[in-house]
Amino acid sequence: MFRALLELVITILIAMVARAVLSSVIKGFGAAASNSSQQQQQPRSGSSGQPKEEPRAGELHKDPVCGTYVSEATSFRRQIAGKTVYYCSDACRQKHAA
């Protein structure tokens, strides 16, 4: 009885150690793969050889109706007197037009 219990405890310990080792190895390979893929990415360059500037969709503009700050990437916008006005929703765009 004691021998069976001892073998069970040893088996559980071996399984726990093997799991920890495999987990560490897999995390290491994942980190190495992500680092190498980040290093391989080259900046885009335009015809002049300079890196091309990405569109800045993260800039925020204040909705004139409700005061919410909205990203430039929104589809709710309108040109008024040569100036682009951004809205948080179609309802705000319609209220401002009225």
Q: Does some domain include residue 78?
A: yes
E strands, 1-98, are: 60-62, 69-71, 77-80, 83-86
pLDDT of residue 3: 93
Query: pLDDT of the chain along its 98 residues, tens only?
Result: 899 999 999 999 999 999 999 999 998 888 887 776 666 555 554 555 555 554 455 688 888 899 888 888 888 888 888 888 889 888 988 888 87
Domain assignment of residue 42, yes or no: no
Does the residue 90 lie in any domain? yes
Domain-embedded: residue 17: yes
Domain residue limits at 78: 60-97
Structure tokens, 32: 């190495």
Is residue 92 included in any domain, yes or no?
A: yes
How many domains are contained in the chain? 2
Predicted pLDDT at 55? 47
The verdict on residue 48 lying in a domain is no
Whether residue 33 is found in the same domain as residue 64: no
Please check whether residue 45 lies inside any domain of the structure. Answer: no
Q: Is 89 exposed, middle or buried, given 0-12, 13-18 or 19+ CB atoms closer than 10 A?
A: middle
Give the C-alpha separation, 46 to 28, whole Å: 36
What are the backbone dihedrals phi and psi of residue 51, each rounded to the nearest 5 degrees, phi first? -60, 135
